[in-house]
Amino acid sequence: MSRSFRNAARPTPGALRHRIEERLGIAVFTLALLFLCAQTVFAHEFKIGDLEIGHPWSRATPAGAKVAGGYFTITNKGGTADRLLSISSDISDKAELHEMGVEDGVMTMRPVAGGLEIPAGGKVALAPGGYHLMFVGLKRQPKQGETFSATLTFEKAGVVSVDFAVEGMGETGAMDDHAN
């Protein structure tokens, strides 16, 4: 019964080719969708005025952690300098801009006073080991694979909402060309 049905339904060579092309089309479409999704998570970018905020990311934290880092690049395509004044997010009580450096052979971290300048035509990177955001007083632990939103306020460009992609606990950003 099923054999005779199969025989009756056997496609002509032309129909077969059409069917293969159709499947290829679906495969290409699926790949394009996957690519778009990957773009959103791994190389996402936000724009406000002349500023481009590249790939905001954070790190998953162990249970009970009270702080989490925040990293991204800011590119200023304009002719005048701007300044990152403040950051806020629902994930923590507050967010601070920190600078990391070595003082007397000891790694130290201190808040950056007066905001972070983004020179005209310049690019500033917030990355592990240098300037970074610190989400202080976490209300919950950021989990790998999720995103959380934050608001950045610039002196001239204004306010922009961005999404931080949460990466693994051991992530250093070294393999990420956006962090350079």
Position with the least CB separation from Cu ion: 98
Tokens 């699926």, located at residue: 30
* Calculated CA dihedral for residues 103, 106, 110, 112, nearest 10 degrees: 50
- Candidates 134, 136, 138, 160: give the one binding Cu ion (CB under 5 A): 134
Q: What is the smallest separation between the CB atom of 65 and Cu ion, expressed in angstroms?
A: 13
Please report how close the Cβ of residue 44 comes to Cu ion at its closest, in angstroms: 23
Q: Which residues contact 14 (CB under 8 A, 6 or more apart)?
A: none
Which residues are CB-neighbours of 118 under 8 A, at least 6 positions away? 51, 74, 76, 81, 82, 83, 84, 124, 154
Q: Distance of CA 75 to CAs 48, 88, 105, 162, Å? A: 11, 20, 32, 15
Nearer to Cu ion, 135 or 148 (CB): 135
Least distance (Å) from Cu ion to the CB of residue 134?
4
Residue number, 53 or 68, with CB nearest to Cu ion: 68
What is the smallest separation between the CB atom of 145 and Cu ion, expressed in angstroms?
23
CB closer to Cu ion, 157 vs 173: 173
Question: Per-residue x/- marks for Cu ion, 90-119, CB under 5 A?
Answer: --------x----------x----------
- Write out the residues near Cu ion by the rule CB under 5 A: 98, 109, 134
